[in-house]
Amino acid sequence: MSGARVDFYVLSDQKDNGRALLACRLIDKAYNLGHSVYLLAASGPQAGALDDLLWTFRQDSFIPHERYPLEGEDDSPVLIGTALPDDRMAQVLINLSDRLPEGLERFERIVELVDQHPEVLAASRERFRQYRERGLTPETHKL
């Protein structure tokens, strides 16, 4: 297993779009630092909603992004999909799925977003344990 940095960001509430908005803020920050990002969504509808939200979450920001798999040859610094690509690399993985993705060693940084929904908390605790079993040391940040 690589020495990837794993961060769990824990929101103090369970607003419906809290995790999605936090994902957009983190993508904005990573993009402005010059990092490539892959956002792993739990489902096609969630990926579509995140795609739309990235256009609108802040009036003064533009984050070039695309859905994966790509329609054309253009490569965007931010990709959104429901499965990790074999043919693309990104520095940062933001995991909004409820599973530990395969191929974690390809990322320098893995970000998990947690809110106070009981099922989200339970799944995140399991992933936290799985990261530790793989020799990683997740950090927790309460927001």
What confidence score (pLDDT) does residue 1 get? 47
What confidence score (pLDDT) does residue 2 get? 52
CA separation for the pair 126, 118 (Å, rounded): 13
Give the domain CATH number at 138. Answer: 3.40.50.10110
Q: Report CA-CA distances (Å) from 140 to 32, 74, 101, 125, 132.
A: 23, 35, 19, 11, 13
What confidence score (pLDDT) does residue 103 get? 84
What confidence score (pLDDT) does residue 86 get? 80
Q: What is the pLDDT of residues 99-109, one digit of tens each?
A: 998 888 889 99
What confidence score (pLDDT) does residue 102 get? 84
- 61 φ, ψ to 5°? -120, 145
What's the gap between Cα 71 and its chain centre?
21
Range of the domain at 91: 5-69+78-142
Residue 31 tokens, joined: 């993009």
CA separation for the pair 2, 134 (Å, rounded): 9
Q: What is the pLDDT of residues 36-95, one digit of tens each?
A: 999 999 999 999 999 999 998 888 878 899 999 887 667 789 999 999 888 778 999 999
H/E element holding 124?
Answer: helix 118-133
Count structural domains, the chain.
Answer: 1
H/E element holding 8?
Answer: strand 5-10
